Amino acid sequence: MTVRTLMIDVDGVVIRHPEGLRWDHDIEADLGVDPARFQSAFFAIHWPDVMAGRAGLHERLALALPDFAPHLTPEALTAYWFSKDAHLDQGFLDQLNALGGQYGLHLATVQEHLRAAYIWNALGLKDRFAAIHYAADYGCGKPDPAFFEAVAARTGHAPHELLLIDDSPRNVDAAKACGWRAGLWDGTRSVAEVIKEAEAG
């Protein structure tokens, strides 16, 4: 049973802060935003609908911003967010490139529409990967089995022909439960080693 396509996670794999910091590490100093209030007023309430494509990011930020950052517009906050959460791991990408076309390369990620477009276009990942599969486009995300089933259906591959590389053990386990191959990425082993172990498993 041959793996045909690698499904690569974005945050924590393709995008990793070089110092291991969160994207909002400096948001209070830079924008006057309390990250805890951002979390409680926006992410805890609105993110599930935004992530699943049931609501727009700017639309829901407009509702939440008066509670934690009335001095900012949705556009200003997202511009800051996206720019701070854009550290491509060039070493990881070089390792994928070194595979020499042995596998198809796709992204499989939990994103809403705007950041998915930013990652794909502004960060140039469209030049490195054949497709991006993301939560808001499917109406569900990892680790929901529906996400893995929908991605397999869209690609036309059998589950065992897909191999997920992800930094979340929960997502790795969920992919395996859906018949995919999967390997955990923590930066301690090479991409080739993770793939070899996942294919053997």
**Exposed, middle or buried by CB within 10 Å (0-12, 13-18, 19+), for 69?**
buried
61/50 Cα distance (integer angstroms): 10
- Answer whether residue 1 shows pLDDT above 80: no
C-alpha 8/C-alpha 50 separation (Å) is 22
pLDDT in tens, 9-36: 999 999 999 888 899 999 999 999 999 9
- From residue 151, alpha-carbon distances to 46, 134, 157, 190, 200 in Å are 25, 9, 9, 25, 22
CA atoms within 13 Å, Cβ hemisphere of 55: 15
Q: Read off φ and ψ for residue 141, nearest 5 degrees.
A: -140, 175
User: Using CA atoms, how far apart are residues 51 and 19, in angstroms rounded to an integer?
Assistant: 26
Residue 201: per-residue pLDDT: 78
Question: Is residue 72 predicted with pLDDT exceeding 90?
Answer: yes
Q: What is the pLDDT of residues 88-132, one digit of tens each?
A: 999 999 999 999 999 999 999 999 999 999 999 999 999 999 999
The beta-strand segments (E) located in the chain are: 5-8, 104-109, 131-134, 162-166, 181-184
Q: What percent of the chain lies above the pLDDT cut of 70?
A: 100
pLDDT value of residue 20? 85
Calculate the CA dihedral of residues 61, 75, 93, 162 and round it to 10 degrees: 40
CATH 3.40.50.300 is held by the domain 5-16+88-200: no
What pLDDT is recorded for position 140?
A: 98
**In 3D, which of 201, 111, 133 has the Cα closest to residue 180?**
201
Q: What's the distance, Cα to Cα, between the start and end of the chain in Å?
A: 11
What are the residue ranges spanned by the domains of the chain?
5-16+88-200, 27-84
